[in-house]
Amino acid sequence: MLAKRIIPCLDVMDGVTVKGVNFINFRDAGDAVELGDRYSREGADELVYLDIAASHEGRKTFTDLVKNVAARLNIPFTVGGGINEMSDVDRLLNAGADKVSVNSAALRRPQLIEEIAAGFGSQVCVVAIDANYEDGRWLCYLNGGRIPTGRDLFQWAAEAEERGAGEILFTSMTHDGVRGGYANEALSTLSETLRIPVIASGGAGTKEHFRDAFLRGKADAALAAGVFHFGEISVGDLKAYLAQEGVNVRT
């Protein structure tokens, strides 16, 4: 069995890491490059950088950040935010990113997944899905959780896999930032129905929540932000705990 991965996520706005609750109410969490370097030294398996205020004007700033991160890190990292076409993917990979995360653009034009997979390989294409639990269904949202689509989480994840996605990054908007645990039932369904890795996101508050995402949610990786950024859990301590709980992690 492949080792489970721990992935700190850095939401970046104007070069600064921020953290919100339920996709709103953001606060400053520190310098994006310095935090990434710290997590790398603590034993993180990968990192995710998301430009949450991606715009045409901000792309140069974010590209420069990616270059700075690549110069400091020796672990893989994924970047996302404002990726709408192949030239965006090419620009970020050339800046040093290992993978790209696509969300809204893929929902609007699913062929983008096929294009990335064909042009750069499926391993480069992470399809991020923001979904909220409403009236007994998990429904997908666009634009950082702002626009409902009516698309079903599980149907869209299956289509993304079919089109060539290498991984699914599922963020529960319902659980995001409230630190009550991951959406383990939905994660388990995704993990059992998909052939590609599933990354859990949204809801980490304790070490037990990570354990449950792996053992109950059957996730391949667990992503978190605030608990790492604000020093509540260190990556090293978390991995030691998970190993004691019988979770196969890289140490």
Does residue 11 carry a catalytic annotation?
yes
Backbone angles phi, psi at 232, to 5 degrees: -75, -35
- Residue by residue, DSSP assigns 159-227 as HHHHHT-SEEEEEETTTTTT-S---HHHHHHHHHH-SS-EEEES---SHHHHHHHHHTS--SEEEESHH
CA atoms within 13 A on the CB side of 170: 41
In single-letter form, the type of residue at position 161 comes to E
Instruction: Report whether 2 contacts 37 (CB < 8 A).
Output: no
Does residue 64 carry a catalytic annotation?
no
Identify the active-site residue in 11, 45, 176, 220: 11
Q: How would you label 19-51 residue by residue, b for 16+ Cβ within 10 Å and e otherwise? A: bbeebeebeebeebbebbbbbbebbbbbbbbbb
Identify the active-site residue in 45, 51, 130, 212: 130
Instruction: Report whether 72 contacts 34 (CB < 8 A).
Output: no
Q: How far apart are the first and last CA of the chain?
A: 15
Catalytic residues: 11, 130
